[in-house]
Amino acid sequence: MRFSTSSSLLTLALAAAWLCPSQVNAQLCTSKVSCLSSHGQGGCNDPACCVTVCSLDPACCSGDWDGSCVFTAQQYCVGLCGAAVNGSCFTSHTNPSCDDETCCIDVCASDPFCCQSAWDFTCALVAGFACNGTPSVCPGEGNCNATHANGGCNDAACCEGVCSVDPSCCAGPWDVICVSLAADICQGNCQPICPAGSLLEPETCGSRNNEACYSPTGGPPTDLPSDRILCGTLGFLTGSGVGPDIDVFSVNLIDTDGDGLVSVRVRLTSSSKAFAAFLPSSGCASIASSTLSVNSNLCILRESEAICVPAGNYRVVVAVGEFPLVSGIPQCGPESHYNLFIETTQKCVSACGSGNASCYFPRGVPGCSDAICCNAVCAIDPVCCNVAWDGMCVDAAVFACGLGPSANDECTGAFVAAAGLNAVTLERAVTNGSLPASCTNNGSILSYHDVWFKYTAAQSGATIVETCGFAGFDSRLAVYTGTCAKRVLIACNDDGPVCLPLGTSRLQFDAVAGQAYLLQIGTNQGYGGFGEFCIATNAASCAQCPADLNASGFVDAADLSILLNAWGTSSATADIDGDGIVDAPDLTVLLSSFGSCP
């Protein structure tokens, strides 16, 4: 076969480009435009990808980088963030990088290995946390057994089951964790295992004879001993024409330690969507009035919180649906089964009058030290003695207990503060102080509901006082030397420029060892608040274990859950590195800190 001169030259040029791509194309691969977008000049911004593409298609360097060049880059540029050839960011593979450019860059910023060596399981795991997916409600669009950028998956029941365990699977991408959960819990026609020695519900599936108060068929409730597993069914027989099955049980809680109280918790494992609700036995209390309930589906064991209730008789209602709505009715078979367990303990020491916990400061445990005030509040809101003494309990105490202002409402009654975290509540403060106009942001000089502390510096040097991330109110801070009668202002702040939540404060001053300082903490709002403030020095910090988000002493799954639920927000609690956003670097710090705090 013979070639023309021009054909021969073209052949030689292509051969040279193929044999010596770096020499022929490297000088042309100087563009600053992405290899994955078309543009009106030759070459692109990744030299390795550019050389590869131009070796296959020299026109991509000698002419425009058009759609054909982009397609070639997508197919051949292994290791280039965003190239389709890399594979999904949410699935592990042996080559580096992945097919979503933004996600790839974000992950590799926290773990360069993912773009230098291989996109392994850890990279895919981090991508699931770090990369924005498309939120969805169940059912979603993707396969439940494969990763994809969209939230949710195409099987409604499986999707709801997975997202009930890990809400991020619907709020973000369906990642490797979601796929793993789906494999574990999305079993078709699952049936809870009925352990040996369990009680069996006397009512057979399809019958309706223990539905006291909640169904026209009626019937007395079934007696259920506490601390025994009961295996029951909620279903109908084909052609029976009956309505939803509602099982009602009678439970007698016995006090054995003489305090008149029993701690109770409800556990439920159901093959279909169902709930259990704990109710008084007198009358026919509505299901919605239950203060203790739990939902279950797909054979997932779920449990309620534990609360202390007076000993006596109660009812437990089990029904198909999601509390408090009864809906749907499974056919008798594997999908109609459930296991119910009523756990009781005698560890119900009265939450009122124990310890030194102030009734005017919130915390995650029930009760407070003033028994009279505590009982008055819990009569209004039982949650305060059963679950936690939260902010609503503090507010109730202010109005119900009428104990007057706290001692540190006046400067002369200043509480002693130490380096580190200190509790502060403005709830009982009634007087309003003032600040110089230069200390405030909105022109008002009032420091509402202010309280006072005295801090004696243990060492000289820069000292920070802040409510940033520690207080739940719009604060104002001031530091003085001198006496209450003759104070000298040395530092103040209204809204710290980088403080979260917004409105909290931070100031800094140079302390002198042995010098006493007066701290004024108030708000620019017409009502009080509570939280903590930090005095940070070179010798004391308020974040000894920054990844321990719930202050449990351990960095564990609970902290991971807090971080994931705050992903992409500016939550001061979960923003470990303090950059204003909960993202991949925070996750990296948390995962590397797993275990006991130092």
CA distances from 524 to 396, 409, 434, 521 (A): 22, 16, 10, 10
State the pLDDT at residue 1.
Answer: 28
Whether residue 289 has pLDDT greater than 50: yes
State the pLDDT at residue 213.
Answer: 83
* Pairing state between β 300-303 and 246-253: unpaired
Whether residue 348 has pLDDT greater than 90: no
3-state secondary structure of 75: helix
Contact at 8 Å (CB) between 25 and 55?
Answer: yes
State the pLDDT at residue 9.
Answer: 32
3-state secondary structure of 103: helix
Contact at 8 Å (CB) between 332 and 235?
Answer: yes
Is the previous residue joined to 139 through a cis bond, with omega within 30 degrees of 0?
Answer: yes
State the pLDDT at residue 25.
Answer: 52
Pairwise CA distance, residues 387 & 12, whole Å: 82
Q: What is the pLDDT of residues 156-173, one digit of tens each?
A: 878 887 887 778 888 888
Contact at 8 Å (CB) between 166 and 178?
Answer: yes
More confident residue, 577 or 200: 200
Pairwise CA distance, residues 334 & 189, whole Å: 6
Q: What's the CATH number of domain 407-536, 2.10.60.10, 3.40.50.300, 2.60.120.380, 3.10.450.50? A: 2.60.120.380
Residue 267 phi, psi dihedral angles, 5° rounding:
-120, 140
State the pLDDT at residue 27.
Answer: 62
CA distances from 47 to 5, 95, 233, 524 (A): 32, 18, 66, 57
Q: Start-end ranges of CATH 2.60.120.380 in the chain? A: 199-345, 407-536
* Cα–Cα nearest to 268, from 230, 242, 239: 230
Contact at 8 Å (CB) between 307 and 351?
Answer: no
- Tell me which DSSP letter residue 471 carries: B
State the pLDDT at residue 444.
Answer: 72
The amino acid sitting at 1 is M
Residue 204 phi, psi dihedral angles, 5° rounding:
-75, 155
State the pLDDT at residue 43.
Answer: 93
Beta pairing partners, 464: 508, 536
Is the previous residue joined to 221 through a cis bond, with omega within 30 degrees of 0?
Answer: no
Residue 338 phi, psi dihedral angles, 5° rounding:
-150, 155
Q: What is the pLDDT of residues 76-131, one digit of tens each?
A: 999 999 999 999 898 888 999 999 999 999 889 878 899 999 998 888 888 887 78
Q: What is the pLDDT of residues 405-462, one digit of tens each?
A: 778 889 999 999 988 888 788 877 877 788 888 887 766 788 888 899 999 999 898 8
Pairwise CA distance, residues 560 & 303, whole Å: 20
Best-predicted range by mean pLDDT (259-268, 418-427, 536-545): 259-268
Residue 505 phi, psi dihedral angles, 5° rounding:
-130, 155
Pairwise CA distance, residues 67 & 86, whole Å: 19
What's CA 514's distance to the chain center, in Å? 43
Structure tokens at 380: 């209004």
Start-to-end Cα distance in the chain = 79
What's CA 491's distance to the chain center, in Å? 36
Pairwise CA distance, residues 90 & 174, whole Å: 8
Contact at 8 Å (CB) between 207 and 168?
Answer: no
CA distances from 55 to 21, 74, 76, 171, 342 (A): 6, 15, 11, 43, 71
Q: Which helix (H) or strand (E) holds 535?
A: strand 530-536
- Look at the block and give the residue holding tokens 């926290």: 110
Q: What is the pLDDT of residues 127-154, one digit of tens each?
A: 887 787 778 888 888 888 888 888 889 8
Q: What is the pLDDT of residues 352-405, one digit of tens each?
A: 876 667 787 777 778 888 888 888 888 777 778 877 887 778 777 877 776 667
Beta pairing partners, 507: 465
Whether residue 285 has pLDDT greater than 50: yes
Percent of all residues in the chain with a pLDDT value above 70, rounded to a whole number: 88
Q: Which helix (H) or strand (E) holds 386?
A: helix 383-386
Pairwise CA distance, residues 48 & 59, whole Å: 16
CATH of domain 199-345: 2.60.120.380
Average pLDDT, the chain: 82
Q: Start-end ranges of CATH 1.10.1330.10 in the chain? A: 554-596
Q: What is the pLDDT of residues 197-251, one digit of tens each?
A: 899 998 888 888 887 788 777 778 899 998 889 999 988 765 555 667 889 999 9
Q: What is the pLDDT of residues 27-58, one digit of tens each?
A: 678 888 999 999 998 999 999 999 999 999 99
* Pairing state between β 415-417 and 246-253: unpaired
Pairwise CA distance, residues 230 & 244, whole Å: 20
- Domain 554-596 -> CATH class: mainly alpha
Give me the mean pLDDT over the 530-547 stretch.
74
What's the full length of the chain, in residues?
A: 598
Beta pairing partners, 480: 489, 518
